[in-house]
């Protein structure tokens, strides 16, 4: 069975590192670097037009991003994963990658090529390589965030139906409305109605926020909704 190509963009200030990573990854199927830049703003519309599967970005650049640029990362299709590299070995910095950068994985400073390959393989499988300590802290913070959201009255109190939760799960996979309709054998207009109802019930403005909200609720209640 042929493994689907993984299309990667690398955003890092160091040109030698960008080119070295590109050279190394080109030797390892199924990875293919389709875009390189020294700053996120240099990518312009190219980033969204490359049909990416994965964005590799330097931690220092992630920390420098303004809100508008962070939203540019957040506006990428949900199926695009983010790997942050050159991360200092401090818990707060690692958690920043996850909570603010939406990272699916991270590499600390002085990590090896073997560790990069291990992280990439995990991300492709839909997994994350991290220490038990970081996993624990992430769960604790998400749980606290969910409790605060519930306490502040996020949402209109109307529970999502099974179908709506199912659609949120498919949105998380990166499926478009048309693809969701095909998967569930329903009309595109029906999917759009479901998405509208989901956002209305949760009092949110976009699909990405709905996925994050459902995830935190699942952790808070101990359920596996997605």
Final residue belonging to a domain, choices 73, 96, 130: 130
Is residue 107 located within the same domain as residue 161? no
pTM of the shown model: 0.62
pLDDT confidence band for 221 (50 / 70 / 90):
very low
**Order of all β-strands in the sheet with 31-37:** 31-37, 6-11, 54-58, 81-87, 105-108
Is residue 103 located within the same domain as residue 141? no
pLDDT confidence band for 201 (50 / 70 / 90):
confident
CA angle 142, 204, 217 (to 5 degrees): 30
Final residue belonging to a domain, choices 130, 145, 166: 130
pLDDT confidence band for 8 (50 / 70 / 90):
very high
Q: Per the domain annotation, does 34 fall within a domain?
A: yes
| pLDDT one-digit tens code per residue, 124-145 | 888 888 877 787 777 666 655 5
Is residue 98 located within the same domain as residue 166? no
Q: Per the domain annotation, does 226 fall within a domain?
A: no
Q: Per the domain annotation, does 161 fall within a domain?
A: yes
What CATH number should be reported for the domain holding residue 71? 3.40.50.2300
Average pLDDT, the chain: 77
Q: In terms of residue numbers, what domain contains 53? A: 6-130
């Amino acid at each position: 069975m042929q493994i689907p190509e993984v299309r990667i963009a690398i955003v890092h200030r160091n040109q030698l590192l960008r080119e070295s990573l590109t050279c190394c990854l080109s030797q390892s199927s199924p990875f293919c670097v389709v875009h390189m830049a020294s700053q996120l703003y240099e990518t312009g519309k190219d980033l969204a037009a490359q049909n990416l599967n994965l964005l590799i970005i330097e931690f220092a650049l992630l920390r420098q991003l303004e809100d508008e640029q962070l939203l540019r990362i957040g506006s990428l299709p949900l199926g695009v994963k983010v790997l942050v590299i050159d991360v200092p070995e401090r818990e707060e910095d690692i958690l920043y990658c996850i909570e603010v950068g939406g990272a699916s994985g991270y590499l600390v400073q002085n990590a090896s090529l073997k560790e990069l390959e291990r992280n990439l393989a995990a991300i492709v499988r839909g997994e994350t390589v991290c220490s038990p300590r970081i996993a624990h802290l992430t769960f604790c913070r998400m749980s606290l965030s969910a409790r605060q959201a519930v306490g502040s009255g996020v949402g209109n109190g109307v529970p999502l139906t099974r179908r709506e939760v199912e659609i949120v799960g498919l949105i998380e996979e990166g499926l478009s409305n048309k693809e969701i309709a095909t998967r569930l054998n329903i009309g595109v207009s029906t999917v759009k109605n479901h998405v509208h109802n989901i956002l209305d019930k949760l009092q949110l403005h976009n699909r990405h926020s709905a996925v994050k909200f459902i995830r935190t609720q699942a952790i808070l209640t101990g359920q596996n909704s997605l």
